[in-house]
A and B are shown apart, each in its own frame.
Chain A
Amino acid sequence: MKRVLITCTIAWCLTAFGAAIAGAQTPAAAAAAGISGGDVIKGVDAPKPEDRAKGDPAGTVTGTVADIPVGDAKKGLTVADVVNAVGQNIIAVNFTWTLVAGFLVMFMQAGFAIVETGLARAKNANHTMMMNFMVYGVGMLAYWLIGFAIQEGGVGAVSNLGGTAPLNSEFAIHIFGKDWGLFGQKGAFLAGSTYDVGVMVMFLFQMVFMDTALTIVTGTAAERWKYSAFIISSFVMGAFTYPIYANWAWGGGWLATLGSSYGLGHGYADFAGSGVVHAVGGMTALVMAILIGPRIGKYDRDGKPNAIPGHDITLVLLGCFILAFGWFGFNPGSTLGAATNGNLRISSVAVNTMLAGMTGSFGAMYYMWLRYGKPDASMTGNGLLAGLVAITAPSGFVNPTGAVIIGLIAGVLVCLSCEFIERVLKLDDVVGAISVHGANGLWGVIAVGLFADGKSNYAGAWNGVNGSVTGLFYGDAGQLVAQLIGVATLVGFVFTFSFVVNVIIEAVWGHRVTAKVELEGLDIPEMGALGYPEFVLKGETLAVPAR
């Protein structure tokens, strides 16, 4: 009975004071309710030490009033102590959720690494793995030095993370009577006022997203990209290309404010990054495919493509599964919290993610089965990823039916796009990254403008516009316009910027290894060691064998 009383009292305190704080957020409201922070709470007893010493198999005496820190031991537990504990618990839940989601996204690097390695030839396994391994470090360094400040330096207070108030400086230009945010200016080196717990969470989560974008490019340019050029190109992308677009979309830049400035829906809405992460990676991959050229032997003199099989399908499909698992950090984690502000929608986001991945793989599998007589494994894996990429932007705004449709279209689109890129554009994309991430990233961005059902409610507003993100099919054509502006920016700006950067790298350093290195395999000349030493040491000769 006593335990029930204690539990009820604490629950009442938490509910009453939590609601007072979350709802009104003003001392005046608390005062109006006749409660003062200095009021001492009496009659709530902690479990006796001898009871605790017996153990707590039911979990009913663990986590009680005894666990609420008291500001003044002489005075005892006050209302202020409880309210502070409530606030900190909300933020702690959000921190934990966001950090764990970030850890999941970080693990996606492993998925990318083995998908790309499996689709490459065995003679390039070490090189492909090393690119995927080091893109993590290279990108992180660039982001810590420069990128994070550009992207998030002016994002302002993120309430889910307790404020992130130090990130308050956005460089903007004033055109047509409106501010156009271009890049942030605080947060480089995470020093000064940005040495802040909330900012750290933000950095970790955004950093792993950025790294995902970077690793997309290595898949397209695999088997012929000079390792040193890869490092330079990835550094520039992590420092500038990705953060600039991410600032415009997520950091308070001009795309995000299209709604508040020009009345276009809620501005460009990209929940978890179909555009910001995947399309940016896909556009850069497209640039690299154009600049670096196809692998030797991929095309005949007459332009007819030859299939160059990867060496390990088990790695490919295992990698796809790892990526699908990591995507549960990618999309649901993008709420940046699990408590309050409508964040319980994480369950819906997670389910949408699963469903779209499933229909994506179905779409690709059936497409290949119908067209080529077999449910091709590598394309089915790419279909799964395509569905996941496409649902990334809409995952927080659509219902499960929308997710299923978006994924299904993505699964078919990825097959068509792969075929188009290889046969019509004559570009050699080793893993199909341009199709998976580029084409479907753009599709995901557009899908928000079509399928957002207006039921989500993240603290009552998105991008500073009250209400829920609503697409064309649910009555808001303006949202679709904002999304199309985002697509145009990806194709117009990101592609062009990446192209210029990589043309400069090509001119100064050169992207491509020599024909000798490419034909021998990049493992020994570039890395100094084979990926599979015991498999590849068969005699290699082009000579006429001895009789």
Chain B
Amino acid sequence: MVRTSEALVNATAAVERLPQPSLPPVPWRDPHSVPPEELSQYIQRLEQACLDRPHSADLRTCLGMAYAMNFDVYKSMDALEAARAIDSSNFWAQMKYAELHYRLRTLRRAEEETLKAVELAENVWQLGVARRQLQEVRRLSRDSARNVHWTKPLATPALILSAMIVLLFVVMMWT
């Protein structure tokens, strides 16, 4: 399985962006319905399938979901990002990527990604799925303690604080 994973990582870098059919070539099972003891084997088959069909965003999405079910978050993130890169208009790739962030409770990011999924919805049902998730993410955001998302440069306030301390030092020594 490790060997397949490595091969997949190498192959992913070489994937070209091509228009893809919206349905997967094989009717893969919903990873949620795969029993945990079979999950490793199922993932291996999915990885192989992705190697065989490197341009399938749906297969990558399915693989990303399977990784997530297997608690392998960063592999899941990679697979879903690859799916999005292969087909940037694929609703499910975007939706599942957003859902992964929602599950991790990185809510700010989850909201951004779910909004993108809303934009990509192709029918009322997909729109409903995305909106429900968006609603839940926003509810959680509202109910939780705001966690600071540090976005501004650190140098300026650090310099100001240092200058204030130096000034204080001079004043205290002077007096």
Residues of A within 8 A of B (CB): 118-119, 121, 296-298, 300-301, 305-313, 316, 367-368, 371-372, 374, 376-379, 405, 409, 412-413, 415-416, 418-420, 422-424, 450, 472-473, 514-516, 519, 540-545, 547
| A309 adjacent to B144 (CB under 8 Å) | yes
CA distance A420 to B146 in the complex (A): 19
Chain B residues with Cβ below 8 Å from A313 are 144-146
Known pairs A312-B145, A378-B148, A543-B32; A307 contacts B154 (CB<8 A): no
| A543 adjacent to B157 (CB under 8 Å) | no
Determine whether B60 belongs to the interface, using a CB cutoff of 8 Å to chain A.
Answer: no
Interface-lining segment among B4-12, B41-49, B70-78: B70-78
| A311 adjacent to B106 (CB under 8 Å) | no
| A307 adjacent to B99 (CB under 8 Å) | no
| A372 adjacent to B104 (CB under 8 Å) | no
| B65 adjacent to A367 (CB under 8 Å) | no
Interface of A is mostly: helix
Q: Which of B129-175 contact A (CB under 8 A)?
A: 129, 140-141, 143-152, 154, 157-158, 161, 164-165, 168-169, 172-173
B105 touches which of A308, A412, A472 (Cβ 8 Å): A308
Q: How far is the CB of B132 from chain A (nearest CB, A)?
A: 8
| A306 adjacent to B106 (CB under 8 Å) | yes
Determine whether B38 belongs to the interface, using a CB cutoff of 8 Å to chain A.
Answer: no
With A310-B145, A313-B145, A542-B103 already in contact, 18 other A-B pairs whose C-beta atoms are closer than 8 Å? A296-B104, A297-B106, A300-B77, A306-B109, A307-B107, A312-B145, A313-B144, A316-B145, A378-B148, A415-B157, A418-B148, A519-B103, A541-B32, A542-B32, A542-B65, A543-B30, A543-B32, A544-B65
Q: Can you list, as one digit per residue, whether each of B55-92 has a CB less than 8 Å from chain A (1) or not (0)?
A: 00000000001001101111001100000000000001
| A309 adjacent to B105 (CB under 8 Å) | yes
Chain B residues with Cβ below 8 Å from A419 are 150, 154
Chain B residues with Cβ below 8 Å from A473 are 172-173
| A544 adjacent to B30 (CB under 8 Å) | yes
| A424 adjacent to B92 (CB under 8 Å) | no
CA distance A379 to B148 in the complex (A): 8
CA distance A309 to B152 in the complex (A): 19
Chain A residues with Cβ below 8 Å from B72 are 515
CA distance A545 to B71 in the complex (A): 19
Q: How far is the CB of B90 from chain A (nearest CB, A)?
A: 13
Task: Closest A residue to B74 by CB, please name it.
Answer: A301
| B148 adjacent to A297 (CB under 8 Å) | no
Chain B residues with Cβ below 8 Å from A423 are 150, 154
Interface of B is mostly: helix
Chain A residues with Cβ below 8 Å from B151 are 372
A543 touches which of B33, B73, B161 (Cβ 8 Å): B33
Chain A residues with Cβ below 8 Å from B68 are 542
A409 touches which of B100, B109, B145, B161 (Cβ 8 Å): B161
Q: How far is the CB of A516 from chain B (nearest CB, A)?
A: 4
CA distance A472 to B172 in the complex (A): 9
CA distance A311 to B106 in the complex (A): 12
| B168 adjacent to A547 (CB under 8 Å) | no
Chain B residues with Cβ below 8 Å from A306 are 101, 104, 106, 108-109
Chain A residues with Cβ below 8 Å from B71 are 514-516, 519
Q: How far is the CB of B109 from chain A (nearest CB, A)?
A: 5
| B73 adjacent to A297 (CB under 8 Å) | yes
CA distance A310 to B105 in the complex (A): 9
Q: How far is the CB of A547 from chain B (nearest CB, A)?
A: 6
| A308 adjacent to B69 (CB under 8 Å) | no
| B157 adjacent to A367 (CB under 8 Å) | yes
CA distance A424 to B155 in the complex (A): 11
Residues of B within 8 A of A (CB): 30-33, 65, 68-69, 71-74, 77-78, 92, 96, 99-101, 103-109, 125, 129, 140-141, 143-152, 154, 157-158, 161, 164-165, 168-169, 172-173
CA distance A301 to B172 in the complex (A): 47
| B103 adjacent to A308 (CB under 8 Å) | no
CA distance A258 to B108 in the complex (A): 51
Chain A residues with Cβ below 8 Å from B103 are 519, 540, 542
CA distance A409 to B151 in the complex (A): 22
| A412 adjacent to B161 (CB under 8 Å) | yes
| B148 adjacent to A372 (CB under 8 Å) | yes
Task: Closest A residue to B96 by CB, please name it.
Answer: A542
| A311 adjacent to B143 (CB under 8 Å) | yes
Task: Closest A residue to B156 by CB, please name it.
Answer: A371
CA distance A28 to B147 in the complex (A): 68
Chain B residues with Cβ below 8 Å from A312 are 144-145
CA distance A57 to B157 in the complex (A): 61
Q: How far is the CB of B171 from chain A (nearest CB, A)?
A: 9
| A371 adjacent to B157 (CB under 8 Å) | yes
| B148 adjacent to A424 (CB under 8 Å) | no
Chain A residues with Cβ below 8 Å from B104 are 296-297, 306, 308, 519
Task: Closest A residue to B78 by CB, please name it.
Answer: A301
Give 7 A-B contacts (CB < 8 Å), ordered by A residue: A301-B78, A309-B146, A378-B148, A409-B165, A420-B154, A423-B150, A423-B154
| B172 adjacent to A309 (CB under 8 Å) | no
CA distance A295 to B143 in the complex (A): 21
| A543 adjacent to B144 (CB under 8 Å) | no
Task: Closest A residue to B33 by CB, please name it.
Answer: A543
| A297 adjacent to B105 (CB under 8 Å) | yes
| A307 adjacent to B147 (CB under 8 Å) | yes
Q: How far is the CB of A297 from chain B (nearest CB, A)?
A: 3
CA distance A297 to B96 in the complex (A): 15
| A372 adjacent to B73 (CB under 8 Å) | no
Q: How far is the CB of A397 from chain B (nearest CB, A)?
A: 15
Q: How far is the CB of B169 from chain A (nearest CB, A)?
A: 8
Q: How far is the CB of B97 from chain A (nearest CB, A)?
A: 11
